[in-house]
Structure 1
Amino acid sequence: MIWTFSPTRKLNQLVCAFAFASLAAIGIASAQSTDASAAQAQPSTTLSAEAATPIARAIEADLTKRQTDERIINFYREHGYTPVWLDENGLSEHGRLTLAAFADSNAHALNPENYAPLQFAERAEAAQTEEDWVSLELDLADQFVRYATHLSSGRVQPNDVNKALNIFPHVPDPGMLLEQVAAASDFSVFLETLSPNTENYARLKLRLAQYRDKAALGEFTVIPDGEVLKPGMEDTRIALLRQRLAEEDYMLATDHSGDLYDGTLVEAVKTFQENHGLGVDGVIGQHTLEAINVPIQQRLIQMELNMERRRWMPDFLGDTYVFVNLADQNLKVVRNGKTWHTAKVVVGKPYHATPVFSDEMTYIEINPYWNVPYSIATKEYLPKLRKNPNALSGKGIRVFSGEQEVTPTQVAWNSYSGGKFPFKLRQDPGPKNALGRIKFMFPNSFNIYIHDTPSKTLFTQAQRDFSHGCIRVADPFALGDVLLTDQGYDRAKLEALRDAGARKVVKLATPIPVHLTYLTAWMNKDGSTNFRSDIYDRDKVLLKALAQAMTENL
C-alpha cells in the first residue's frame, strides 16, 4: 500500500495548461456576476428570474435528482446555484488548484487515484454540453469534500477499525467546507490548511518524502545472519554494515574503514538502536539485526500509517498535557509546546492491550488503595485462595463482601468461580501495593490510570509491555512534582506525604488532558527518524482497513 502515483504528461498538460472551451455561451459568466450579497441576504429554494442563468438552473435541476448530502445542496441553494469549480473559461482557478491538490495527495500519504484528477481533467477537456459541465461541477464538489475529509480527519474512523481505538476525529461539515472554498481569497493557502496544522505532521510528511527518494535508489543493504557482533570484534560483514548505516544517514561511509567493529560505526549503531526503541549497547544481536534488515518499503508503510493516525488527532492537545505513546512505552509532559518531563512507562501486555483514548487528569492519590479488578481477582487470585485461604494476607490484600470485611479462612472458596464471585479484594497502601505509592487519575470507562509500581526492574527493559492495561511510570514522584508544581507541591513534599503513610488525595486546580496514543513512526525536532515495533498488531489492522477503503473508493 505504497502510493506511488505520478502525474502523467497528459495530466500535467490538462491540469497546468487548461485550454478549455469557453462556457460563456451557456451563461456561466452572467451567473458569476449575479449580485452575491443580495443572493446571500435573501436565500431561496429556487432561483429568482434575474438570477436564473442556464447553468444555475441546470445545477438546481441536477441537484434534485442526485442523492447528494443535504448540506451541499443547501450551500448551492444559498449561493444561487452559482458554480464553484467553473468559470467562463472552463475550470476555474479553484477547480484547477483542486485537481492539482488531488494529483499531489500522495505527499500526504493519500492515494491520488481515489480522487481521479486525471479523469476530471479529461472530462473538462472533453465537455461540450450543459449536462457535461453541470455533472463536472457537482461531482467535483462531492470529490473535494471527500478529499478534504480524508486529509483533515483520516480515511477511516478509528473506532470502526479497532474498538481499542476510542478516538473520534472531528469530521468537517461539507457545507462549511464549501463555504470556506467560496470565501477563500487565496485558495492555494486555504488548501494547505486542510491537513493537520502541527509540527509533528509536517515533520513526518517531510521524512516520508525523503525516504521515498531513498527508496527510488533501491532497497536498503541486507546484513547476513552471523554471530552476535560486539564492539571490538572483526567481521566480514562490516563493509555491508557501514554501507547500510550510511544509506539511512547514520554516518558517512567514509567515516570508518576496515573490518573492525569499533569507533564511529559502534556509535552509529547505538544511535540506530535508540531510534528504534532497542537496548542501546552497540551489540548487534537478533533484535538489532532484524531492525536493520527491515525493508525500506515497510518503513514507508509505517510512516504512511502514522500520518493517518496524526490526522485523527486534534491540532491542539492542551496548553499543558500528558502524552503517552504506547508503542514507544514513554510518557512526556508538554507545556506551551515544550517538553518539560519524560519518563519510561510499562504498558499492557498484548492480551491486555492498553486502549487509545484521551481524558482529563483530575486528581493525584498518594498511598492509594488498590481495588483489585474483577478479572484479576477471579482469574489470578481465586485459584490461590482455593489452595490456601491465607495466600493473600502477606500481600496486604483484604476480602470484603459489600462494605463488610470477611475473614478469608471462613470462606468456602471452592464454591465460587469466575461467574460467581460476590467479593471485592482490596490491597492496603504500602510498599507492596501493586499501584506503588502514588497514582494519577483521569477517570474513564476503561479503568486505566498512571501509577507507581514496586516492580522497578521492568523499566530497564527495552520493550515494556507487562501490565494488565494500566500504565506504570518510572520515578512517579518526579512526575507529580511537574504536574503539581503550580499548587505548591514539590517532590520533597510529596515524598513526605508518602512517608507519613496515610492516604492523601490532591485535586488538580486545573484538569490536565491525558492522551494515550499509538505511534510506530515519527520524526523528532532534532531530525531523528524513529520507528517502533507494532506490539499490538495495530499497524496490521490499520493497513488492512486502509487497503479495503482504497478499493471501495476507487
Structure 2
Amino acid sequence: MGFLISGTAIAQTSPIEPVSPVSSVAEAAPGDYVGQAIQAELAPLSSAFPPLLTSPRHQRVDVNRVVLDFYSHRGYRAAWTDDDDVAQLLKSLGDTQADGLNPADFRIAELAEAHTLMQTTSPTPGQRAAFDISATRTFITALLQLRRGKVDPSRLDIHWNFDPAGVDPREDVNKFFAALDSHDIARAFALAPPQEAVYGTLRHGLAQLRKVRDRGGWPKIPEGQTLRPGMDDASVALLRTRLAAGGYLAAQGTARTDYDDAVTAAVKKFQTEQYLGADGVAGPATLTELNVPVEARIDQVRVNMERARWLLYKLQGTFVVVDIAGYKVAFYRDGKPVWRSRVQVGKPFRSTPIFQSAITYVTFNPTWTVPPTILLKDMLPKIRDNPGYLEASRIRVIDRDGNVLDPSTVDWDNPRGLTLRQDAGSDNSLGQVVIRFPNEYSIYLHDTPHRDLFAKSNRATSSGCIRVENPLQLVELLFNDPVHWNSEGIQKQLANGKTENIRLPVKVPVLLAYWTVDLSLDGRVTFKPDVYGYDSPVLRALNQPSERPALDGRRAAPPSVAAEQSKL
C-alpha cells in the first residue's frame, strides 16, 4: 500500500492571513494595567501592518499579526491568567516531539521559569504582559507548526505551487483561540495535526523507532560477505536481530545462525519494500539498506511527517496523485484510492518536478516533438553514428517554415532551426495516449513503448515526464463516462489512427508529490530511496531553531534555509 499525500505550510516563519483587520480604536480598559502594558508592548506592531487589507491573497502577515489581532479584539486583556491553562500548554509543547518537532524550539524552560515567577513573586504589569504575549505567541506558533508544518516549502522549492485555496488559515487560528477561551488547550493540540489515519501511522512508526533507538538501536551487519539461504554464519544472527527489529521476522530465535526459509522470506519482504530486487539474498545493496542507522530512519519519518502536514489536506474529492519517489500513480474518487499503477519518472539529472495542476484533455495517437534537451544530449549522437536512425524511428525533420527536410541534407554537426517530430504509431515514444495538464515544465503523463522498464525496482528512467504502465485504464477513469468512454469507446478512438485532443468533461486535479516512506498493509512505516536527494534540505530546515519574530513586524529567513532554495 502506498503512502499518497499532498499542500502547503503555515509556520512561525511563513505568512498567514490575518484573523481580521486590526481595529484602530481598540484600547486596554482603564485600570487594566497589565492590558495597558500588553498594548504598549505591541504598539510597534500597529504601525508595522496596514489597518485594512485590500488584497488578502497578496497582503499576508505572520504570527506577530495574529498576536496583534488577538489582543486587539479582546481589548488587550491578558489571556494566560489560569494556571491550569499554562500547565496544559507546557505539557502539550513537550508532547510535540511525538510529531517529529523539537520541543526546545518553543523555549519551554523559559516559559516555565517565567510562569513560576508569576506565581511566586509580585510581578510588575510589564512582566505579566511579557509573559502573556510570549505564551500566546508560543501557543499559536506550535499549533500552526502542527497544523501546516514548521518549514515553508516555498523556501526550499521556488516553483512550489500547491495552492491553499479552500483551506482558510483564519478558521484554524480562530479555533485555536476558541480552545484557549474554553480552557481546553490540550484538545487544541490534539486536533491541530492532520487527523488522517496515515498521519497517525507515521506518528506510531516514529514512536516505535525511538523505542528501538532507546534500546541501543539495531545491529550493524558486517558488509563484504553476501549472506545466502542455506548458509550458517554468525552474521546471520545479526541479520535475524535486524530483521526482527524492523518487524520482518519474529523476535524468537534471533540468536540462531542458520539462514532458513523464514529469514529468506523476511529478506524478500524487506527488499520489496526498499525497492530492491527481491531475491532473498542479503547482498551489498540489501546490507547497505539494512545498516542505515535507526537515527537516520527516525529523521526520515520526521521529514515525511512534515510533508504530510504540508499536503494531506489536498486529498479531497476526485484527483490523481503521482508518487515520484515511489514510482506509482493513484486515482482517487471521493478521497479514496480506486486505482493504482506503476510509473517511470525522471532520472535524477532530469528530475520530475513537484507541483499541482489539473488534467484538462487527452491526446489520442499522439505525435512526439523531440524536446531540445533530448535532441542535443540523446538524439544527435545517435543520428551522427547512424544516418538511418531517423527513418527507422519514423522521425521527420521540419524547418522553421514547416517544410519536411531530407535528413541527409542537414549538417548534423551544426543543426539550427530544426524540429524533430515522430509520427504517431505503436513505437511512438509517447505510446497511444498522453494525459495533459497545464504547467511550465512541459510535463505530462503518457503511455510508452518501453514497457520492460516497469519491471525494474528503480524506475527513475525517463527524461522528466511520467510514463504510466496502464494509461488506458486511467483515461477511462478520467472521462468517467461508461457509455461513450468505456474501454470499447477508447479502443475505437485509437483505432482510427488520427491524432486528436479530447477534452475531459470535468477537470481532474493532479498532484505530483514526493515522499520517501510507504505504509505497509500491516500498518508499518517502510522506507524507500530518496532518489532525488530531497530529504536533506527539509531535515536541515526542520532541525533549525524556530525564528522568534521581532516586535517591529520584520521577519528574516534563517540564512541556511534560504540557501536551500536552489537545492530542489
TM-score range, shorter chain: 0.7 to 0.9
Tell me the SS of whatever aligns to 2:396.
Answer: strand
Change (3 A) 1:257 1:64: closer
Q: 2:94 aligns with which of 81, 91, 103?
A: 103
Q: What's the offset of the Cα at 1:548?
A: 4.0
Which amino acid is the alignment partner of residue 444 of structure 2? Y
Task: Give the structure 1 partner of residue 474 of structure 2.
Answer: 479
State the structure with bigger RCO (CA 8 A, min sep 6), 1 or 2.
2
Task: Give the structure 2 partner of residue 82 of structure 1.
Answer: 77
Taking the aligned partners of 2:405 and 2:383, their CA distance within structure 1 comes to 12
Deviations 1:484-538 (A, max 9, x none): 3435323343234333322233322222221111111243453132101111111
Taking the aligned partners of 1:44 and 1:552, their CA distance within structure 2 comes to 25
Tell me the SS of whatever aligns to 2:503.
Answer: strand
Q: 1:501 aligns with which of 482, 497, 500?
A: 497
Q: What's the offset of the Cα at 1:449?
A: 0.9
Residue 547 in 1 paired to residue 538 in 2? no
Alignment of 1:261-410 (within 5 A): 261-385=259-383, 391-402=389-400, 404-409=402-407
Alignment of 1:521-532 (within 5 A): 521-524=517-520, 526-532=522-528
Q: What's the offset of the Cα at 1:183?
A: 2.3
Alignment of 1:124-523 (within 5 A): 124-127=115-118, 128-163=123-158, 165-167=160-162, 179-184=174-179, 185=182, 186-254=184-252, 259-385=257-383, 391-402=389-400, 404-409=402-407, 411-414=409-412, 416=414, 421-488=416-483, 489-523=485-519
2:370–2:419 contact (8 Å) kept in structure 1: yes
Q: What's the offset of the Cα at 1:95?
A: 3.3
2:365–2:499 contact (8 Å) kept in structure 1: yes
Tell me the SS of whatever aligns to 1:114.
Answer: helix
Tell me the SS of whatever aligns to 1:180.
Answer: helix
Aligned pairs, number: 506
Task: Give the structure 2 partner of residue 59 of structure 1.
Answer: 38
1:71–1:175 contact (8 Å) kept in structure 2: no
2:363–2:499 contact (8 Å) kept in structure 1: yes
For the pair shown, the structure with the greater C-alpha radius of gyration is 1
Tell me the SS of whatever aligns to 2:461.
Answer: strand
Taking the aligned partners of 1:188 and 1:330, their CA distance within structure 2 comes to 38
Q: What's the offset of the Cα at 1:234?
A: 4.0
Taking the aligned partners of 2:407 and 2:247, their CA distance within structure 1 comes to 65
Taking the aligned partners of 1:207 and 1:48, their CA distance within structure 2 comes to 48
Q: What's the offset of the Cα at 1:172?
A: 8.9
Change (3 A) 1:538 1:165: farther
Which amino acid is the alignment partner of residue 523 of structure 1? L
Percent of aligned pairs sharing the same letter: 33
2:140–2:176 contact (8 Å) kept in structure 1: no
Which amino acid is the alignment partner of residue 37 of structure 2? A
Deviations 1:128-167 (A, max 9, x none): 1111110011122222232223222222222322346554
2:360–2:503 contact (8 Å) kept in structure 1: yes
Change (3 A) 1:75 1:226: closer
Q: What's the offset of the Cα at 1:168?
A: 6.0
What is the CA RMSD across the aligned residues, in angstroms?
A: 3.0
Change (3 A) 1:492 1:258: farther
Which amino acid is the alignment partner of residue 103 of structure 1? G
1:480–1:491 contact (8 Å) kept in structure 2: no
Task: Give the structure 2 partner of residue 10 of structure 1.
Answer: none
Taking the aligned partners of 1:160 and 1:408, their CA distance within structure 2 comes to 49
Taking the aligned partners of 2:320 and 2:165, their CA distance within structure 1 comes to 21
Task: Give the structure 2 partner of residue 18 of structure 1.
Answer: none
1:153–1:169 contact (8 Å) kept in structure 2: no
Tell me the SS of whatever aligns to 1:156.
Answer: coil
1:168–1:312 contact (8 Å) kept in structure 2: no
Deviations 1:282-335 (A, max 9, x none): 122221111111111111010011111111114142312222211111112222
Q: 1:47 aligns with which of 18, 27, 40?
A: 27
Q: What's the offset of the Cα at 1:266?
A: 1.4
Could you tell me the TM-score, scaled by structure 1's length?
A: 0.83
Task: Give the structure 2 partner of residue 122 of structure 1.
Answer: 113
Taking the aligned partners of 1:531 and 1:168, their CA distance within structure 2 comes to 28
Taking the aligned partners of 1:496 and 1:178, their CA distance within structure 2 comes to 53
Which amino acid is the alignment partner of residue 547 of structure 1? N
Task: Give the structure 2 partner of residue 27 of structure 1.
Answer: none
Q: What's the offset of the Cα at 1:545?
A: 2.9
2:228–2:282 contact (8 Å) kept in structure 1: yes
Which amino acid is the alignment partner of residue 297 of structure 1? E
Taking the aligned partners of 1:504 and 1:190, their CA distance within structure 2 comes to 53
Tell me the SS of whatever aligns to 1:482.
Answer: helix
Tell me the SS of whatever aligns to 2:373.
Answer: helix
Change (3 A) 1:46 1:453: closer
Which amino acid is the alignment partner of residue 81 of structure 2? L
Deviations 1:414-466 (A, max 9, x none): 5746xxx3222221111121111112112211111111111111111111111
Tell me the SS of whatever aligns to 1:392.
Answer: helix
| Structure 2: tracts of 5 or more residues without a match | 1-19, 49-62, 550-557, 559-568
Change (3 A) 1:435 1:69: same
2:241–2:255 contact (8 Å) kept in structure 1: no
Which amino acid is the alignment partner of residue 47 of structure 1? E
Task: Give the structure 1 partner of residue 11 of structure 2.
Answer: none
Tell me the SS of whatever aligns to 2:397.
Answer: strand
Taking the aligned partners of 2:160 and 2:430, their CA distance within structure 1 comes to 25
Change (3 A) 1:176 1:320: closer
Change (3 A) 1:435 1:43: closer
Which amino acid is the alignment partner of residue 334 of structure 1? Y
Return 241-250 or 464-473, whichever deviates more: 241-250
Taking the aligned partners of 2:253 and 2:486, their CA distance within structure 1 comes to 47
Taking the aligned partners of 1:178 and 1:397, their CA distance within structure 2 comes to 58
Change (3 A) 1:367 1:57: same
Taking the aligned partners of 1:360 and 1:247, their CA distance within structure 2 comes to 42
Task: Give the structure 2 partner of residue 5 of structure 1.
Answer: none
Tell me the SS of whatever aligns to 2:506.
Answer: strand
Change (3 A) 1:414 1:345: closer
Tell me the SS of whatever aligns to 2:526.
Answer: strand
Change (3 A) 1:252 1:177: closer
1:399–1:423 contact (8 Å) kept in structure 2: yes
2:345–2:464 contact (8 Å) kept in structure 1: yes
Q: What's the offset of the Cα at 1:546?
A: 2.8
Taking the aligned partners of 2:310 and 2:350, their CA distance within structure 1 comes to 23
Taking the aligned partners of 1:62 and 1:242, their CA distance within structure 2 comes to 61
